[in-house]
Amino acid sequence: MTVDVKEVQEKLSVNNYKMTSQRKLILKIIMNNEGKHLSAEEIYAKVKEANPGIGLATVYRTLELFSELGVIHQLNFDDNCRRYELDHGEDHHHHLICVKCGEITEFNDYILEEFEEDIEKEHNFIVSDHRIKFYGYCGNCQ
Amino acid sequence: MTVDVKEVQEKLSVNNYKMTSQRKLILKIIMNNEGKHLSAEEIYAKVKEANPGIGLATVYRTLELFSELGVIHQLNFDDNCRRYELDHGEDHHHHLICVKCGEITEFNDYILEEFEEDIEKEHNFIVSDHRIKFYGYCGNCQ
DNA sequence: AAATCAATGATAATGATTATCAATATTATG
DNA sequence: CATAATATTGATAATCATTATCATTGATTT
Ligand SMILES: [Mn+2]
Ligand SMILES: [Mn+2]
Ligand SMILES: [Zn+2]
Ligand SMILES: [Zn+2]
């Protein structure tokens, strides 16, 4: 379930998109910063280090495109900007959010299988994805 | 765990805030629209019906205040505005989000108790709250 | 090479939220 | 009661993340 450039290239071409140098760079930035949950602006800053000519609009467009293709997905940590991380499909994780310092910790998801089935039956709803956030106090902030 | 006006009045006065007519009206709008997950603008529209003189800023301020006091909490359904609902403390619920039509369905939360304990031990994190969203297809959209 | 289509960069526009500030209401004080 | 002090409000301006626009550039096809 690890994402690699080749796989994304495939996804792009299947959908008649091209792997441009800008898109490749943005992808690499995201891959090299797993667990950092970068925002568009933060990605833009890093992207400019490698290619100062790149435009902010391209970053936003690429993030939108990668989201559509399921390469990445958006996160919301209540800090009024969207954040992004690679979409690892099945073996995904969720987040602990420290309400004091804002630190984000990841934890693996493994418990919701049977719960999903209950939900599907009880509400006639076909679950395709889910997201869990725990709020509380990290080690430093207790 | 049902929220009522008197209780909120108490919370306000304990923290040296006053229950003004505007605040009471906004609270009632939210209480009379349980399950609707109104945004600030939507609340503003309903508030104006009863009191056309009220300002949008007051709505935002009041929502902020109520959030701080734990009377309500924010929701994010990925539609680029914040939505609000009463905070029922312990007996809370979570949301199913139809990715096709956007319908929101509520479901009760009862499974995460033991999971929380695991999390707390494994990550040295004291959980105070959590939020779950399931994405998928509602009955109409399957 | 010319024509066609996709992608980009610069920049303007949008829209939700926040900040400002003068006016008004409420409470405390003499 | 009158007045000072404080809290709240409404109007409006500012902010800032995100989107839209559009001319330019790059790639692909004929
Ligand atoms: Mn993560
Ligand atoms: Mn709800
Ligand atoms: Zn912390
Ligand atoms: Zn639906």
Which of the residue ranges B23-32, B92-101, B112-121 would you say has the lowest mean pLDDT?
Answer: B112-121
Q: Is the pLDDT of residue A13 over 80?
A: yes
Distance from CA of B1 to the nearest CA of A (A): 20
Q: Write down the pLDDT at residue B99.
A: 94
- Cβ–Cβ below 8 Å for B123 and A96: yes
Q: State which residue has its Cα closest to the C1' atom of C10.
A: A55
DSSP state of B100: T
Encode pLDDT of B31-40 as tens digits: 999 999 999 9
Q: State which residue has its Cα closest to the C1' atom of C20.
A: B57
Q: Write down the pLDDT at residue B91.
A: 87
- DSSP β-bridge partners for residue B126: A137
DSSP string spanning A4-48?
Answer: -HHHHHHHHHHTT----HHHHHHHHHHHTTTTS-EEHHHHHHHHH
- How far CA B5 is from CA of A45, B27, B29, in Å, comes to 48, 8, 12
Token digits of residue B107: 């479901």
DSSP state of A126: E
Cα–Cα nearest to A40, from A19, A9, A17, A61: A61
Q: Which residues lie closer than 8 Å to A21 by C-beta, 6 or more apart?
A: A51
Average pLDDT over residues A73-99: 95
Average pLDDT over residues A106-115: 84
- Cβ–Cβ below 8 Å for B133 and A131: yes
Question: Residue A116 carries which side chain, given as an amino acid letter?
Answer: E
Do A112 and A76 lie in one domain? The reply is no
Do A131 and A63 lie in one domain? The reply is no
Token digits of residue B50: 């009863």
| Backbone φ, ψ for residue A130 (5° rounding) | -155, 165
Q: How far apart are CA B142 and CA B136, in angstroms?
A: 9
Token digits of residue A103: 């630190």
Q: Write down the pLDDT at residue A26.
A: 98
Selecting from A105, A126, A132 the residue whose C-beta is nearest the C-beta of B136 gives A126
Token digits of residue B52: 């056309």
Average pLDDT over residues B88-114: 91
Q: Is the pLDDT of residue A11 over 90?
A: yes
Strands B72-75 and A126-137, bridge-based pairing? unpaired
Q: Write down the pLDDT at residue A140.
A: 95
Q: How far apart are CA B71 and CA B14, in angstroms?
A: 13
Q: Write down the pLDDT at residue A2.
A: 76
- Cβ–Cβ below 8 Å for B127 and A135: yes
Count up the domains in chain B and report the number: 2
Residues 49-68 of A with CB under 7 A from strand C: 51, 53-58, 61-62
CATH number, domain with residue B28: 1.10.10.10
Q: How confident is the model at residue A121 (pLDDT cuts 50, 70, 90)?
A: very high
Taking the centre of ligand 1 as the mean of its atom positions, its distance from the CA of residue A79, in whole angstroms, is 15
- A130 is in which domain, residue-wise? 94-136
Do A98 and A126 lie in one domain? The reply is yes
- How far CA B134 is from CA of B6, B8, B9, B80, B104, in Å, comes to 34, 31, 34, 18, 10
Q: How far apart are CA A8 and CA A6, in angstroms?
A: 5
Q: Is the pLDDT of residue A110 over 80?
A: no
Taking the centre of ligand 3 as the mean of its atom positions, its distance from the CA of residue A38, in whole angstroms, is 18
Encode pLDDT of B7-39 as tens digits: 999 999 999 999 999 999 999 999 999 999 999
Shortest CA distance from B111: residue in chain A: A115
Residue A3 vs residue B71, higher pLDDT:
B71
Q: How far apart are CA B26 and CA B67, in angstroms?
A: 13
Within-domain flag for A142: no
Q: What is the pTM of this model?
A: 0.93
Q: Write down the pLDDT at residue B59.
A: 98
Q: Write down the pLDDT at residue B120.
A: 94
Q: Write down the pLDDT at residue B61.
A: 98
Taking one residue from A and the other from B, the number of pairs with CB-CB distance under 8 angstroms is: 92
Q: Write down the pLDDT at residue A93.
A: 95
Boundary residue ending a domain (B47, B70, B86): B86
Contact A123, B107 (CB under 8 A): yes
Taking the centre of ligand 1 as the mean of its atom positions, its distance from the CA of residue A95, in whole angstroms, is 6
Cα–Cα nearest to B131, from B114, B141, B142, B116: B116
Q: CB of residue B78 closer than 7 A to nucleic acid strand D?
A: no
Do B53 and B104 lie in one domain? The reply is no
Do B63 and B121 lie in one domain? The reply is no
Average pLDDT over residues A31-37: 97
Closest nucleotide to the alpha carbon of B22, via C1': D9
Q: Is the pLDDT of residue A34 over 80?
A: yes
Within-domain flag for A79: yes
Encode pLDDT of B26-85 as tens digits: 999 999 999 999 999 999 999 999 999 999 999 999 999 999 999 999 999 999 999 999
Question: Residue B92 carries which side chain, given as an amino acid letter?
Answer: H
Within-domain flag for B142: no
Q: Is the pLDDT of residue A112 over 90?
A: no
Strands B126-137 and B93-98, bridge-based pairing? parallel
Do B13 and B82 lie in one domain? The reply is yes
- Which of B126, B129, B141 should one mutate to test binding to chain A, selecting the residue with the greatest count of A CBs within 10 A? B126
Within-domain flag for A52: yes
Do A80 and A18 lie in one domain? The reply is yes
Within-domain flag for A106: yes
Cα–Cα nearest to A87, from A127, A34, A23, A10: A34
